[in-house]
Amino acid sequence: MTSSSKHPFHPALLTWPALASAGLLALSGCSVANSDGDPGNASTVRVVLGQEPPTLEACESNLTSTGVVVRSNVTEPLIERNPQTGELEPKLATEWEATSDTEWTLKLREGVTFQDGSPFNAEAAAFTIDRAVNSKLGCNVEGYVFGDADLVVAAVDATTLTVTTPEPDPILPLRLSFLEVVPPSTSTTEKVREPIGTGPYKIEKWDAGQKISLASWDGYWGDKPAYAKAEYQWRSESSVRAAMVTSGEADVAMGLSPDDNMGDLGIDYPNNETVALRLDANEAPLNDIRVRQAINFAIDKEGIVNSLYQGKHQVAAQLVPEGIVGHNPELKGWAFDLDKAKELVSQAKADGVDTSAQISLVVRSAQFPKITELAQVLQEQLSQAGLNVKLKMLETSQHLTYQVRPFAADEGAVALMTQHGNQAGDAAFTVDQYMLSTGAQSYFGTPEFDAMIKKADAASGDARKKDFEEIFAYQNDKVVQFAHISHQTGIIGKAKSVNYTPNSSSGDELRVSEMTPAS
């Protein structure tokens, strides 16, 4: 078994596989890697998202992954909500007013055309509403914003539209801001993956699995955007998205984690998301309000915010952050008081509540950065208060069986971690779902509380604001279905070559027209 050979290999042995692999590389280069790696072209802004949009269908644009590309880039709504001020602003409709209890009249912008050359008019607006709300398409926006209510729409003349609701609806204009307008040539029987809109960009190419390119459209009615093109890619690891900005492969990266260590390339912005535990009061031991209060006292919200999230989040006292109509600025987060929590638990125990019954802490894996860590902290802190907590990390689909009605049966007491984002800017979108005793994401309520909510829903102006503020205070005092944890802060990565200031809706609609090249 000895050998002193210096050249043990026949060269030919190596050549053919080497050729084969070179050939393979070339072959693959043709079919997969045909997309030219766009070097940081100044006229193109490159965005990297967390996932590929399932579709760009306009009537699904309330879905974050679709909306972030489509909304205000390809298509536009009639009315737009300014995320900074919360005010509604004209877009394709120039003015609107309630002409009766149940009827709204909108004046539409003139001189607007769709990217296919067809004119935008009342007929197109009426078509859009009918298609999204009254059709059998099963649009996501229909359920999300309008529920079961069918709307009656009529084009009075080319620029006037009336919308009639079955019940008085003081926030109909806000609801309409979720509808992205499409031309009447759009299919009413099938969803359309690549819609035509009136926006500053049109869809140029969608390389499924790889990239979406938008190109600015010359016929846009408004100002021409600074970037001629926008390119979207997607990577599911946030560290990879961050790396792409650091290495100059992307200009904007969405949804980063504080540990991606972006330095001054990372920009924080309030993303309107609130994290809370939702407590099921139908099961022991959570059926006792003292136990639910104890949970609130047992959570060290300051510690979580400062340690896990480097002080970037804010301790929450209610489900909606500042800036949402109905946010109650008076409310302060529950104090962290472990002794008080223990005392409340032992009081409940003394009154015969089975405080040793297991509470399932139900958490969705990878819902937001560091959720696993947060879940373990909560489990530990609730256990210290004397409760028997079991952590259940679930994937999205399983988590949904706990999150929405009909709730999974025979599960015992559940404390569900929920991340709620109110995209609409009005507390009604939160309260109706999370606090009404029949709400899709509400475990329980009281008749009195339901009445307060109904009253607030129908109110408008300052009365509406005040009613909702009272609702949030009442939940913390009398109902305690929620243990609020924090209002989150999002992080986007942004290359130095781009000027852009993210706002609370950047995660849902990323307006490329607001980006400019830094000189």
Partner 1 sequence: MLIYLRKRILSSALPLVVVIVGVFALARMTGNPASLYLPLNATQQMRDEFTARNGFDQPLLVQMADYFGGVLRLDFGQSLRTGQDAAAMALRAFPATLQLAATTMVLAVLLALVVGCWAALKPNGIADRISSFVSMAAASIPDFWLAIVGIWVFAISLGWLPTSGVSGASAWVLPIATLLLRPFGVLVQIVRGSMVSALSEPYIKLARSRGAGELRVVTHHALRNAAAPALTVAGDLTVGLVNGAVVVETIFGWPGIGKLMIDSILQRDFAVLQAAVLLTAVAIFALNILIDMGYALLDARVRPVTARA
Partner 2 sequence: MNSPLTEPAANQLASADHPGTGKNNDKREGKLSLFRLLLKDRFATVSAVLLVLIGLTALIGPALMGDLATKQNLLFANKAPFSFAYGWEYVLGSDSLGRSMLARLVVASRTTFSVALPAVAVALVIGSLWGVWAGYHRGWRENVSMRIADVIMSFPSLLLAVVVLYVFSPSAGNIVLILALTRIPIYLRTARAESAELQSRTFVDAARTFGARPNAIIGRHVIPVVLPTLLTLATLEFCYVMLAESSLSFLGIGIQPPDVSWGLMVSQGRQYLQTAWWLSIFPGVAIVVTTIAANVLAAWLRIATDPAQRWRLSLPRKRMIARIPVKEAKP
- The HSE-up count of residue 126 (CA atoms within 13 Å, CB side) is 19
Beta strand 516-517 pairing with 498-499: antiparallel
CA distance 108 to 122: 7
Would you give the DSSP letter of residue 63?
A: S
Binding-site member from 42, 154, 335, 404 for partner 1 (CB under 8 A):
404
**Run of H or E including 206:** strand 201-207
Estimate the share of the chain in helix, then strand, then coil, as percent rounded to the nearest 5: 30, 25, 45
CA distance 402 to 88: 35
Residue among 249 and 260 whose Cβ is closer to partner 2: 260
Shortest distance, position 508 Cβ to partner 2, whole Å: 24
Beta strand 201-207 pairing with 358-364: unpaired
Between 380 and 399, how does the x/- string for binding to partner 2 read (CB under 8 A)? x----------xxx-x-xx-
Binding-site member from 5, 350, 409, 410 for partner 1 (CB under 8 A):
5
Instruction: Quote the tokens at residue 198.
Output: 């009136």
Three-state DSSP class for residue 421: strand
Would you count residue 318 as binding partner 1 (CB under 8 A)?
no
Would you count residue 335 as binding partner 1 (CB under 8 A)?
no
E strand spans, 355-408: 358-364, 388-394
Residue among 188 and 307 whose Cβ is closer to partner 2: 307
Other C-beta atoms lying within 10 Å of the C-beta of residue 135: 14
**Total residues at interface with partner 1 (CB under 8 A):** 70
Residue among 247 and 519 whose Cβ is closer to partner 1: 247
**Run of H or E including 482:** strand 482-494
Would you count residue 310 as binding partner 1 (CB under 8 A)?
no
Other C-beta atoms lying within 10 Å of the C-beta of residue 60: 25
Binding-site member from 72, 186, 379, 513 for partner 2 (CB under 8 A):
379
Would you count residue 395 as binding partner 1 (CB under 8 A)?
yes
Between 163 and 182, how does the x/- string for binding to partner 1 read (CB under 8 A)? --------------------
Shortest distance, position 179 Cβ to partner 1, whole Å: 14
Check: CB of residue 128 under 8 Å from CB of residue 93: no
CA distance 438 to 450: 9
Give the type of residue at 162: T
Binding-site member from 440, 458, 459, 473 for partner 1 (CB under 8 A):
440
Other C-beta atoms lying within 10 Å of the C-beta of residue 20: 10
**Positions in 357-376 near partner 2 (CB under 8 A):** 365-366, 369-370, 372-373, 375-376
Beta strand 152-157 pairing with 160-164: antiparallel
Would you count residue 308 as binding partner 2 (CB under 8 A)?
yes
Would you count residue 257 as binding partner 2 (CB under 8 A)?
yes
Between 121 and 160, how does the x/- string for binding to partner 1 read (CB under 8 A)? -----------------x-x-xxx--xx------------
Binding-site member from 169, 249, 260, 280 for partner 1 (CB under 8 A):
249
Would you count residue 247 as binding partner 1 (CB under 8 A)?
yes
Binding-site member from 150, 168, 191, 221 for partner 1 (CB under 8 A):
191
Would you give the DSSP letter of residue 336?
A: -
CA distance 444 to 436: 7
CA distance 214 to 512: 10
Residue among 355 and 481 whose Cβ is closer to partner 1: 481
Check: CB of residue 271 under 8 Å from CB of residue 321: no
Interface segment toward partner 1; rule CB under 8 A; list 150-158, 162-170, 383-391, 438-446: 438-446
4 binds, among partner 2, partner 1, none (CB under 5 to 8 A by kind): partner 1
Would you count residue 519 as binding partner 1 (CB under 8 A)?
no
Shortest distance, position 182 Cβ to partner 2, whole Å: 36
Euclidean distance between the first and final Cα of the chain, in Å? 69
Does a cis peptide bond (omega within 30 degrees of 0) precede residue 90?
A: no
Contacting positions for partner 2 (CB under 8 A)? 1, 238-239, 257, 259-261, 300, 303-304, 306-308, 365-366, 369-370, 372-373, 375-377, 379-380, 391-393, 395, 397-398
Contacting positions for partner 1 (CB under 8 A)? 1-5, 7-10, 13-14, 17-18, 20-21, 24-25, 27-29, 31-33, 35-38, 54-55, 57, 62, 138, 140, 142-144, 147-148, 190-191, 193, 208-210, 233-237, 239-240, 243-244, 246-247, 249, 395-398, 400-401, 403-404, 406, 432-433, 439-441
